[in-house]
Structure 1
Amino acid sequence: MEVQKKTSYTQSNRAIQYTHIVNDSKAVCFMFSGAGYNYDKPLFYYSTMIMLENNFDVIHIHYSYDEREFNLTINEFTDLMVEDVTTVVKDVLEKGEYSQTIFLGKSLGTIPITASLAKNENYSHSKVILLTPLLKIDLFYKGILESQNETFMVIGKNDAHYVQEKIKKLDEKSNLVIKGIDNANHSLDVEPFDYTSSLKALSEMMKDLNNFLN
């Protein structure tokens, strides 16, 4: 296994750094972090471990946004993020010989998946993993609703984005597996804060994720 630090450049000349964990695989998992929830946090740390155990290569994309960018309209910000992410995805796939792709995003990182990648015919056979997607925003909810990708979604039942009527509608989709975690917040920590219950929920989620891959 080899860890490589690389940079891609968008058409607008934005530099997007990423980490390529090379595991000599024909399958690659692209991971998209949340706002303040980066790749050394538990959900990504153990998701990465599972991918490596399953002999996948892993890509961690290190985008970052300032206050001005976060204050763009939702459509403008989505376009910006999609450009950043798809630039890296295209670079990696053009340079590598991958036959399988997986997309995994947490919160903010689910935006490019639900708004673009899961709608792209080039990735119609890619598996999708959505951790705490932004269901309150209709643009992203509809992206999940319309996607035909095989998808595994995890969301806490105390998450502000856990919208019961939307979850019920999504649960009707045959290509979508939803894991709702009782009393869990947007970080998937169980409230009131309980490390035993939180660790148990994390362990169960990772087992379900591993089963989804196999």
Structure 2
Amino acid sequence: MATAPYGVRLLVGAAVTAIEETRKLPQTILTYPMTVASQVAQLVMKVQQDVAQLVIKGDETLEALFPPKEEQPEWATFDEDLEDQDGEEPSGDGQRRTAGRYALFTDAEPATADGQQSTESAESGEPKPVEVPAIVNELDYDSLTLAQLRARLSSLRVADLEALLAYEQATRARAPFQTLLANRITRATAK
């Protein structure tokens, strides 16, 4: 078979392509709005990226020409600043204040070798020994969070709960722990 001239092949190829595209036209018309919308969104995002890059370059240039001053406002004071000025701790006694709702997360006083824990007497200011019940050591009570204690309450006897409540009142006196233990004792004795 002889090869058709170049122009004829070109015209036949263009005609076949036009027919194929005409057949795809209904589907193309349906997807065209989404295609245009995605292309517009892509263009907007590209413009935003280009603007952001220009701003970053501008910031870098201005920072190189005019370095920022490391100044702290007069109203902003930090503990480190107070230590630097006075050469001592800012809170006089050096103790961290953990009262209030943050008392839940404070560390316990370490127990002494004889199994007693000392707390300060409110009236004399002297430490008084507190007997540490066996259940405190068994549960490692001093390291428990409120949620961990709540999870263990159902397995405890009323006597253990009362011992824990007395220990809590004599040592750290954290209101949420006392309330939790007292409520559990009330529920357990009501059964």
TM-score normalised by L of structure 1: 0.22
Return the index of the structure with the highest Cα Rg: 2
TM-score (norm 2): 0.24
Higher helix proportion (structure 1 or 2): 2
Question: Which has more strand, going by share of residues?
Answer: 1
Greater length-normalized contact order (CA 8 Å, ≥ 6 residues apart): 1
